[in-house]
Amino acid sequence: MKKDRNYPKPVLTPGEVARRSGVAVSALHFYETKGLIFSTRNGGNQRRYSRDVLRRVAIIKIAQRIGIPLATVSDSLEHIPANKRMSAPEWDALTQHWREELDKRIETLTRLRNDLDGCIGCGCLSMRDCPLRNPGDRLGQQGSGAVLLDPEQDDKHPDTG
């Protein structure tokens, strides 16, 4: 007897995807609302996922683990077909920007760690001189009183380098 090669791809319930991927069903629904993964509906209007969704969820989890925002993940995944296995060159292209962002974060954290080493001896955390709390006395330039630094602005400020 000849096998029918036109059989539909096996589908998974949300519970099966959750068990196999290690994420909660609510996370799957959330990812779906963000356009990160896709499902179909059966006759009873229940969600069903193709097995390919397991790979996409794994990519999402990897990205989250290294701190990549879901919006960035979504932008990256929109160029990859949801029902296709990703090749090594596609993975490299997908993650190139992620690697660059990770390198920047590592550089920033290394610089902060090195500045922290200088504070261990003094321990004063001087509001005027501390390279961690107030690099280059930037807070003084913004006026008197309590002023907070925005870590996102650190790399954009002309006095830092």
**Cα 11 to Cα 50: distance, rounded to the nearest angstrom:** 5
Whether the CB-CB separation of 71 and 33 falls below 8 Å is answered with no
**Cα 111 to Cα 90: distance, rounded to the nearest angstrom:** 32
Whether the CB-CB separation of 105 and 152 falls below 8 Å is answered with no
DSSP-assigned beta bridge partners for residue 48: 40
**Cα 23 to Cα 26: distance, rounded to the nearest angstrom:** 8
Q: Report all structural domains of the chain as residue ranges with CATH numbers, in order of start.
A: 9-86 (1.10.1660.10), 87-144 (no CATH)
What's the pLDDT at 79? Answer: 81
What's the pLDDT at 161? Answer: 43
For residue 74 the two structure tokens come to 């979504």
What's the pLDDT at 91? Answer: 87
What's the pLDDT at 82? Answer: 78
In this prediction the pTM is 0.66
Tens digit of pLDDT at every position of the chain (161 positions)? 555 565 566 799 999 999 999 999 999 999 999 999 999 999 898 999 999 899 999 999 999 999 999 999 999 888 888 777 788 888 898 889 899 989 999 999 998 888 776 665 555 555 555 666 656 556 556 666 555 555 555 455 444 44
